[in-house]
Structures are given as structure tokens and as C-alpha cells.
Amino acid sequence: MSASSTAAAGQVEHMLRQVTPGRYDAYEALLGALADGQVWMLLWHGQAGSPDAQYGNMDVEGFGYAPCVTSAQELAASGWNRAHEVVAGADVARTLYPDHYGLWLNPHAPGGGVGIPWLDLRRIATGLDKLPAGPLRLSEPAVDIPQFYAQLTQNAHRTPVVRSLRRAWVQPAFGAPYLAIGLDVYGTDTASVEAVRAMMQQSIAAVPEGLPVSTVAMSDEYDPVAMWLRANSRPFYDREAHVAPPAGGYGYPQAGAY
């Protein structure tokens, strides 16, 4: 194992010792160490690098986690007598989160170790600076910005690729709260993406200074903000709601036609 790998493992263990309930800053630092470091994945079946290699599986309060340890010393302390695989933290995050699996660090340790939910593995895989820190508190926005919503609605109506718009107020566990705009679009090709970007740029001038605004794709099945919007909000702009139904009510005879 190289000196840099040893240092990375030591950083993960150092930050792990700092994590306590409510210390979101320490937890964020742990995620950063994992993104740059390595973990020792415990294999329930197969050998490292073999096609049939299978990570272990833990169920904690109904959520799945793959157990791992943070160093060769912790591997020895765990008493694990099957195979293991040393994997970069970013790589294991990319492997686990699409299946909604988290990562559990040092489950053998006093207190049971620390679990990293799959949503935070997604942040590691995507970039910690690109997604908000959870757990998120989500609600309907209370900020009164009618000019922005009017401008955004007008520009959305002029942008044919936009199907609907939703909104949420997002309070991350660590960092400033912000307004999220959920974008439901008809296409994801380059021209469509550029059209949506231009729409937001044209509208953002109406946002009061100091109010952070972000966007989220409603088609993202892994994004917690998009999931909340789909389950809890109605569009404030809906292109299809403005389309009148065809005469005869979608194929049924009009009243009095019998």
C-alpha cells in the first residue's frame, strides 16, 4: 500500500472519530475524506476482482448497507475471515448508490460504527459541492417573489421544451437554505438543455439580491429534492394544463349528442 493510500486511510479514520450526533461539519469532512480515500469492502462471496465477488449486506431500520472497514488494522480487529477488496471511496459510492445501498464504516467498532446513506454516496459520486448536504428539510417556499415567478412563467411559456415548473424551499443540514426550481422538460438533447439554461438566465435577474436559487431535473429519480417535489407539490406552471381539450371530451360524445 502506497504512502498516499495510507495517509488517505488515516484521514478517513481521523474524521470518523470526530463524528457525533449533530456535528454535520464533521460528517461533511468525513464524506470528503471518503471521496479521496479508500475502504476495505467485506466480501460475502467470491474473491477480490472475481466476477462473482459480492459485498456483504446489512439491514438497518429497513435500509440496506454494505459493510466495510477503514484500514488493514480495523480489518484485523473485525475478525472478518472471508475475502475483502480495497476500493476507492468514490468508486464504491458509484457502485452502491444506484441500488439505494449505503456504506457502513467499521460495524464491529464500539458503538457500531457510522452509516453513510445512499443519498450521501450519490453526493460523493457526483461531487460534494454540487449537491446539498442532507438530511434536507423541504417545504413550500414562504418567500414572496411574485416578479420572479411571473418572469419565469412567461419565459417558460416561450420555451417549448419546458413542460412544467415546481418549487421548494430547501434547508440543507450544512449550508445556506435556497429556493429550488424543479424543471420538467420534454427533451434532454443539447439544444433543449441550452434553451432551459437561457430561460433561467433570462429569469434570474428578477430574483432579489442574496436569495440563492438552484434547479433540479424532475426526471432525476435519485435526487431527494425532485422526489419531494413529485410527491408533495403541484406545478406553478404547467404547459399542458393550458391546452384546451378537444371537442367531444377526448372522444366521448358531447352532452345531448345521443
253 belongs to a structural domain: no
Q: What region, left, alpha or beta, does residue 98 occupy, with left being phi > 0 and alpha being psi -120 to 50 degrees?
A: alpha
Q: Rounded to whole angstroms, how far apart are CA atoms 120 and 190?
A: 28
The reply to whether 94 and 174 lie within a common domain is: no
User: Is the pLDDT assigned to residue 251 strictly greater than 50?
Assistant: no
User: Is the pLDDT assigned to residue 145 strictly greater than 80?
Assistant: yes
- Specify the 3-state DSSP secondary structure of 105: strand
The reply to whether 84 and 112 lie within a common domain is: yes
- Count structural domains, the chain: 2
The reply to whether 82 and 44 lie within a common domain is: yes
The reply to whether 144 and 119 lie within a common domain is: no
258 belongs to a structural domain: no
Query: Where do we find the cell 417549448?
Result: 160
The reply to whether 32 and 147 lie within a common domain is: no
pLDDT classification of 258: cutoffs 50, 70, 90: very low
Query: What are the residues facing 86 on neighbouring strands?
Result: 40
Structural domain boundaries, residue 224:
137-242
248 belongs to a structural domain: no
> What pLDDT, in 10s, does the model give residues 16-58?
999 988 888 899 999 999 999 999 999 998 888 888 889 999 9
Q: Is 191 exposed, middle or buried (0-12, 13-18, 19+ CB in 10 A)?
A: exposed
Q: How is 46-103 classified by DSSP, letter by letter?
A: S-TT-TT-EE--EEETTEEEEEEESSHHHHHHHT--S-EEEEEHHHHHHHHGGGT-EE
Q: What is the CATH number of the domain that holds 204?
A: 3.30.70
User: Is the pLDDT assigned to residue 255 strictly greater than 70?
Assistant: no
